[in-house]
Structure 1
């Protein structure tokens, strides 16, 4: 049995009045230039843990990767800094840097974790007194790439498997000759 409440005329007019007040309180803005982020919610979960682990044996060679775990329990695997830059966004890089900093303060890093720490520190906290920046005349620049989605420049060097990643909004101590090479490429 269904019960139907009879609405009095007074209740109906009060409801219409409230509805009109709510409608008037909404502010509609036309031509807003702000961007809407259509990124799926699954990417919104912050990185909460990272570990360097053996993925498996490929062609009689052990394959090690970084495993990143998100707050929702999902995980992803990345081989090196370039894999991070291809698959992560800027907030993910910030989360990873924060985690590595926290672990570095508690106990010393070694092996590939030390390499990750060095790459992230170079990216976020450049130090012009660092030996890397002091020896720029020895660099042979092969190519240069800009990752636009999170603002990272990558310089690829010859002779060593060296890549230098730099955030766009930070100031790095590049010498004039190297800047000319970058611009020429």
Structure 2
């Protein structure tokens, strides 16, 4: 009897920039040549779990350890993942926090990432287990803004506890 799993997760083994006409995408390549393209960073994150993020970060770091990103999509994935895994308080995005208004927070349970978006289109992604240099004004705005979670969970309670402290 041959039994096959309904849903199989294949690890990421590579990534590249895929160009279709004038649009550029990230093409994520998994074991068995299973591929998927993503145009937006947060859409890609929604499809990933924690292991996928860690693997993609190691592949991106390995590629850009010796060369500079040339395409916009290469720079975007490099910057977003670097901010996620190696936040720097001198980063312009972190410096701009005190001027951020109209926040919307999302928490993605599958991989433990907080996603903060402003009306001006500024996105900040933060891994849950790290302590980030959020100024008091940003924390206050986070409290005022609606915390969007699909269900009450430990991660959202932990975030609120840190904000109140």
**TM-score, normalization by structure 1:** 0.71
* Distance change >3 Å, CA 95–CA 176, structure 1 → 2: same
**1:120 and 2:81 aligned:** yes
CA RMSD, aligned part only? 1.7
What is the deviation of 1:118?
0.3
Does 2:132 align with 1:172?
yes
C-alpha deviation, 1:137, in angstroms: 1.8
**Who is 2:17 aligned against?**
52
Which consecutive segments of 4 or more residues in structure 1 shift more than 2 A?
none
Change (3 A) 1:39 1:155: farther
Corresponding pairs, count: 140
Tell me if the contact between 1:141 and 1:155 (Cα under 8 Å) persists in the aligned partners: no
Listed as ranges, the gaps of 5+ residues in structure 2 are 146-165
**Structure 2 vs 1, CA of residues 134 and 39 (structure 1 numbering), >3 Å: closer, same or farther?**
farther
The answer to which structure, 1 or 2, has the higher relative contact order (CA under 8 A, 6+ apart) is 2
Match among 27, 46, 53 for residue 93 of structure 1: 53
Alignment partner for residue 42 of structure 2, among 70, 79, 82?
82
Q: Structure 1 unaligned segments of length 5 or more: list them.
A: 1-37, 57-61
Rg: which structure is higher? 1
